[in-house]
Structure 1
Amino acid sequence: MAQREIDNKKDILSIGSKELAYLGDSVYEVNIRKTLIRLGIRGVKDLNKMSMNYVSALYQADIFSFLKDYLTEEEMKVALRGRNTKIKHSSKSVNISTYRLATALECVFGYLYLLDDTDRIKELMDKIFEYKKAEVI
């Protein structure tokens, strides 16, 4: 398997949506966990319970629907590629359209991570927690 360094925006945009979602899933989750700790949530049991709510496909689909108005044109293109990716199977707990929206969100976070755009990731995370503020308290 040939490997090459991904070092510019064009290379990043050539990465498949499934790979971006794969990476974006972990980027999103670690940032959810980091934000919960920064908000003062303590105790592993509480942190796990709360973070599981944020990382479910149903929640991610809701977040994507909210965030899409805040995404740049480039981020939206990445998201739409992710949403339109052929998926052979999805979670048993959600329908395929919900799963596709969750995948779109994960693609955006994978894309931003590969761009090393931590400021934009933080900005989007702030929007997410602002949107769902009542659920954190």
Structure 2
Amino acid sequence: MQYSPLTLAFLGDSVYEQLVREDIVLKANTAVSRLHAASTKKVCAVFQSKAYDVILPHLDEDETSVLKRGRNATGCSAPKSASIIDYRRATAVECLFGFLHLTGRRERIEELMKIILSETKEDD
């Protein structure tokens, strides 16, 4: 199964966001506007770029390879709220999540998300 890094990132974006939303809802049953604001902080490119550094030491060789393929993918332009470096590293995280999802590694996705959420803060 060989998909382009940007295709994997397209899928991984939704996998990542769903897990972030689940985490937030399970922690606080509050107004949707607050839920949205909390999730936005954790799905932005800057936060995901920090997540890149956090999970990198926990990855095996294959996962690291997928992460690097995602980081080096071309054809994407960064939003105004993030640098191109942050955006590429965020794409890499999403690429990894897409790959893990397509290969049926749900437990690994949850393990990495737990590491991300416990070791990465919005205000770092």
Q: Which of 45, 48, 52 is matched with 2:33 structurally?
A: 45
Hey, which bits of structure 1, 4+ residues long, moved more than 6 A?
Answer: none
Q: Residue 65 in 1 paired to residue 48 in 2?
A: no
Q: What SS does structure 2 have at the residue aligned with 1:61?
A: helix
Alpha-carbon separation, structure 1, partners of 2:101 and 2:11: 8
CA deviation profile, 1:32-63 (whole Å, cap 9, x unmatched): 00111122342211110100000000110011
Q: Which of 3, 10, 15 is matched with 1:27 structurally?
A: 15
The percent identity for this pair of structures is 37
Q: How does 1:103-122 map to 2 (within 5 A)?
A: 103-122=91-110
With the length of structure 2 as denominator, give the TM-score of the two structures: 0.91
Larger radius of gyration: 1
With the length of structure 1 as denominator, give the TM-score of the two structures: 0.83
The answer for the alignment partner of 1:3 in structure 2 is: none
Output the aligned Cα RMSD: 1.4
Which deviates further from its counterpart, 109-118 or 84-93? Answer: 84-93
Whether the aligned pair in 1 keeps the contact of 2:54 and 2:115 (CA below 8 Å) is no
Where do 5+ consecutive residues of structure 2 fail to align? none
Aligned length: 122
Where do 5+ consecutive residues of structure 1 fail to align? 1-10
Which deviates further from its counterpart, 123-132 or 25-34? Answer: 123-132
Q: How does 1:5-20 map to 2 (within 5 A)?
A: 11=1, 14-20=2-8
